[in-house]
Amino acid sequence: MSFEKLNLKGNNQAGDVAGKAAQFGLTLATVGLGFGVTLGLMNGAEDGHTHFWFAYLVAFSFLLTITLGSMFFTVVQHMVNAHWSVTVRRFAELTMANMPMVALFALPLLVPLFSDDVSVWKWATMAHDEHGAVISVEEAGHDAAPVAGLTAEASLAAQGQHAEGGHSKAEELSHAEHFEFTAHKFPFLNRKFFAGRLLLYFLIWIFVARFFFKKSVEQDTASNYDPTLAMKRKAAVAIIVFAFTISFAAFDLLMSLDETWFSTIFGVYIFAGAFLSSVAWMVIQAKFCQKNGLLTEVIHDEHYHDLGKWMFAFTFFWGYIAFSQFMLIWYANLPEETAFYGARLTEGWSAWTWALLVFHLIIPFGGLLSRHVKRNTNILLGWAYYLLIMQFIDLYWIVMPNYHRSEVGFENPFGIMEVSLVMGMFGVLVYGNARRAGKQALLPVGDPLLAKSLRFRNI
């Protein structure tokens, strides 16, 4: 392959726009996070601000999933040698490069993990004795022995008591039962191993993100194709590592909030939302740049059309995975699996669940079906913002029913704190991208496939 370099027309350097965007992002992050944290610290001191930590986990997951989705996007383009996406790939790269900053925002999660006062991951307090050592399976089995001896009748009777309000015995029982169902997971679900795994995930992600970002920037000024070829060689391995890490991170951070529940497809579910929101975020960035007179000559309707196709496809893929998870659990109707949907299909949460079906699947499916929508960039931008909001709603729906799940039923505490925290995290995202955007071209100018990407047309 002979080396050649394109001479691009138009403005491909962010310049002042990046500074302004970074200023905006920083302001949003400061105000949003500041307001959210203040609200969180003002209330709920009696349970160690558990509500705040749940809300923080939702907002953090929002930031993390978009970052991870962008990383997947970048890597998979290299793996399949895609040419259409070259003009918009830098947006995904910029987002992915935020990974070290995202890791910083993961640090506060160590508070709910290691504090005995906060009850976010309930296994965290259950898995340890008073000296902090992990309870072994034998010990746990011994502790749980009285429960195993209980007949189902007694258990039913106890639950009946619970319904009538005299719940001291029932609570004891349910705690003991919980213990019984969870004890065998303690070798995996305990504080130190959990923290160690988080560290490992972030090390891997930071390594992958930095590698692909640095190589891509290197290619901008390189006089041969070595950086691109290096990325292509590593891409397939990175995808495999990504698949495992995002699955296990989803299991750890989100699924283990209900330590008795399990679903092997859960990682794919989180991935679907992550990819969908990262593509939506790319549309927002592309549109923002073009409105500010950047990249006007290189990104055209054909690229938006393809980004729109991804949004459409992953809207449906998300629904497909969500339904796959739901239907198997619904059909088998096994008590240890149905708890997740039991909580989300009763009382206050059922409206959110139905809303998710309608607003996260049916409406965007119909809305993004037409090619005219995908090629009308202003409408597409609207859908991109819409899908980011849906990603937040989805994460909130996954996390928040675990808050207060046994003490006062399943209450839905949605409020200003959740919104301001997630707005703050969005500000962090904007700031992270904008800060780096001015330091190199806004598209991989040295990529050998750039010329093809510029010529790219959908049929």
Partner 1 sequence: MTADKELYGVVAEFTDVTTLYRAAEKVRDAGYKKWDCHTPFPVHGLDDAMGIRFTRLPWVVLIMGITGLLSGMYLQYWTNAVDYAFDISGKPVWSLPANIPVIFEVTVLFSAFTAFFAMWIANRLPRWYHPLFRSDRFARATDDRFFIALHAKDKKFDLAAATALLKGAGAGEVEEVYEANEPSGMPSVIKGNLWVVACLMLIPPAMVYASYGSTTTQPRVHLIPDMDKQDRFRAQGETELFEDGRMTRDQVAGTIGQDQRFIHASLETGKENGEFVTSFPTQIEVTEAFIDRGQERFEIYCGICHGEDGKGSGVIHERAMELANLGQATWVPPTNVTVSLIANQTDGMLFETISEGRRTMPGYAAQIPAEDRWAIIAYLRVLQEVEVMNALSPEEMAALGAASRGEILFTQKICVGCHSLNGVALVGPPLNGFLDSEIKLDTGETIVADADYFKESILDPAAKIREGALKGLMVLAGDPLTDEEISDLLEYIKTQN
Residues 46-105 that bind partner 1 (CB under 8 A): none
Near partner 1 by CB under 8 A, which window of 47-55, 114-122, 161-169, 369-377? 369-377
- Cβ-based nearer residue to partner 1, 318 or 326: 326
Q: How far apart are CB 159 and partner 1 at their closest, in Å?
A: 13
40 within 8 A of 420, measured Cβ to Cβ: no
- Cβ-based nearer residue to partner 1, 113 or 345: 345
Q: How far apart are CB 161 and partner 1 at their closest, in Å?
A: 16
Q: How far apart are CB 300 and partner 1 at their closest, in Å?
A: 13
- Does residue 163 belong to the site contacting partner 1 (CB under 8 A)? no
CA 407 – CA 397 distance, rounded (Å): 19
- Candidate list 107, 156, 351, 358; residue touching partner 1; CB under 8 A: 156
- Residue of 368, 360, 420 lying closest to 389 (CA atoms): 360
- Cβ-based nearer residue to partner 1, 82 or 236: 82
- Cβ-based nearer residue to partner 1, 169 or 371: 371
Number of residues that bind partner 1 (CB under 8 A): 16
Q: Please, which residues bridge with residue 332 across strands?
A: none
CA 386 – CA 379 distance, rounded (Å): 11
Residues 308-367 that bind partner 1 (CB under 8 A): 323, 326-327, 330-331, 333
Q: How far apart are CB 224 and partner 1 at their closest, in Å?
A: 30
- Residues 243, 246, 252, 256: is their CA dihedral positive or negative? negative
Residues 429-458 that bind partner 1 (CB under 8 A): 457
Near partner 1 by CB under 8 A, which window of 50-58, 147-155, 184-192, 231-239? 147-155
CA 389 – CA 327 distance, rounded (Å): 25
- Does residue 371 belong to the site contacting partner 1 (CB under 8 A)? yes
79 within 8 A of 235, measured Cβ to Cβ: yes
Q: How far apart are CB 307 and partner 1 at their closest, in Å?
A: 19
Kindly state the greatest CA–CA separation across the chain: 80
CA 72 – CA 80 distance, rounded (Å): 12
- Does residue 164 belong to the site contacting partner 1 (CB under 8 A)? no
- Candidate list 45, 152, 163, 408; residue touching partner 1; CB under 8 A: 152
- Candidate list 226, 369, 416, 439; residue touching partner 1; CB under 8 A: 369
Near partner 1 by CB under 8 A, which window of 42-50, 160-168, 293-301, 368-376? 368-376
- Binding stretches for partner 1 (CB under 8 A): 151-154, 156, 323, 326-327, 330-331, 333, 369-371, 457, 459
